[in-house]
Amino acid sequence: MRVSKLLAFAMAMSLLVLPALGQSIEHLAPTDVLDLRLGEPIAAQPGPFREYACGTNGGPPARALSGFEDFANCPVEPETGLREVTFRYDDELEYYALAMNLMPIADRFGGTRFGTFPVIVSVLISDDGIVHGYRVVTDDRVATRVRRVAYTMGILARARVPGQWSCVDLPLANGETPVGRNAVKQDCTGTGASGTHLLLKTRFFHRKGQTQFDQHSGKFREGLYESTARLEVFDAGWSKP
């Protein structure tokens, strides 16, 4: 217990002192999905991470796992030929910031985020234990005001994952309508500097049957739209089955 308290005190002091010295606190941020080493085995991956589980194609976690090494317990995706393991970022820094009431730091590093966007992250592993890709999908399990702007993560993704991007704006399908005056339905592909395969899908529109106002009562219906961004990055040695 005493060691834990001393560690908490040391971390809190570092959070207070570094900004005062004009130094960046970014190096204190937990390891994130961009730190993963594609094309390398699970033993070579950074960490720590938390709450490992089988993935559901970018959705909520399924079967709980003890770590990446349990990947064989997850099904093979027919689309990629790989096994998806989802996880969450280490929350120790957020815990210490909250304990010291340092809310800007807690907000900056809280939860599992891509920039400021709450996301579900996962790795994609082949049967021989090689990490061939990662997936980042905006998390729908957030407040409506946060979910509304989730699609703009697509802009950040192209900035944070450098490469030669090519994007196509797709027409809305029958029954899909803009949210107010805005509609986004964009697919992007690209190639990174090391030959990585880049895929990005961004969506913001009312799905068929969704409307902003109830057609019978005229009442406003909050949150009835899709607002998502989905990023996938694969190493140069991966090929779609």
pLDDT at 59 over 50: yes
Which amino acid is residue 21, in one-letter code? L
Residue 115 identity (one-letter amino acid):
G
- CB count in 10 Å sphere of residue 190: 18
Q: pLDDT of 180-206, one tens digit each?
A: 889 999 999 999 989 999 999 999 999
Q: d(Cα 134, Cα 216) in Å, to the nearest integer?
A: 44
Structure tokens at 238: 């991966």
Q: What is the pLDDT of residues 68-123, one digit of tens each?
A: 999 999 999 999 999 999 999 876 665 556 566 665 655 666 678 898 899 999 99
Structure tokens at 103: 């809310």
Give the pLDDT of residue 156.
Answer: 96
| Residue 123 structure tokens | 């790795």
What pLDDT was estimated at residue 32?
Answer: 84
pLDDT for 225 beyond 80 = yes
pLDDT in tens, 5-44: 444 444 554 544 445 433 455 555 667 899 999 999 999 9
Residue 90 pLDDT:
76
- Whether 77 and 57 have beta carbons less than 8 Å apart is answered as yes
**109: phi then psi, degrees, rounded to nearest 5:** -110, 10
- Record the pTM: 0.81
